[in-house]
Amino acid sequence: MKTCESCGMPMLADEDFAGGDPSSDLCVNCGSEATVRGRVISFAIVESKLGKADDLLEILRENLRQTRGLDGVTDAFISQSPEDPNIFFTFSRWLDRAAYDAAQRATAAGESPALTGDVTPLLSREPVFGRYDVMD
């Protein structure tokens, strides 16, 4: 298995490599085309209460399905910690800040179905949220 020389991501399929080229030493996220895939990323780290991971994951999966359908989203996924199955990481990549901000405004106004359920009762602590501009 080959890993990206820049970020260490495992590259298992052709589409994981920069330019879809298995001879590349960079992944699709670090290659020169990465910036056209999205200029803004957002993430959340959430931890479920003991015994609530499956319930939380169900809501996160539905949120992910809906998030992938929003205008301006180029990539989105959920990860679950292999060390602690109660910890989840969600990630989305957006075309630009305007697309991200428009989706946030629609969600805040109740016009977007991107948040399908209240996860608060399932969480063991406050989530960690982040939004970053892609620099290179």
Q: Is the pLDDT of residue 36 over 60?
A: no
Band of residue 133 on the pLDDT scale cut at 50, 70, 90: confident
- Claim to verify: residue 29 and residue 60 sit in the same structural domain: no
β-strands 2-3, 40-47: how paired?
unpaired
- Claim to verify: residue 112 and residue 45 sit in the same structural domain: yes
CATH number of the domain to which 63 belongs: 3.30.70.100
- Claim to verify: residue 20 and residue 72 sit in the same structural domain: no
* Structural domains of the chain, count: 2
- Claim to verify: residue 69 and residue 9 sit in the same structural domain: no
Note the pLDDT of residue 24. Answer: 85
- Claim to verify: residue 115 and residue 127 sit in the same structural domain: yes
Q: Is the pLDDT of residue 128 over 90?
A: yes
Q: Is the pLDDT of residue 32 over 70?
A: no
Per the structure block, which two tokens stand in for 76?
């989105």
Which long-range CB contacts under 8 A does 118-121 form with residues at least 24 apart? 119/46, 119/56, 119/59, 119/60
**What is the reported pTM?**
0.68
- pLDDT by residue (tens digit) across 53-70? 999 999 999 989 988 988
Structural domain boundaries, residue 5: 1-35
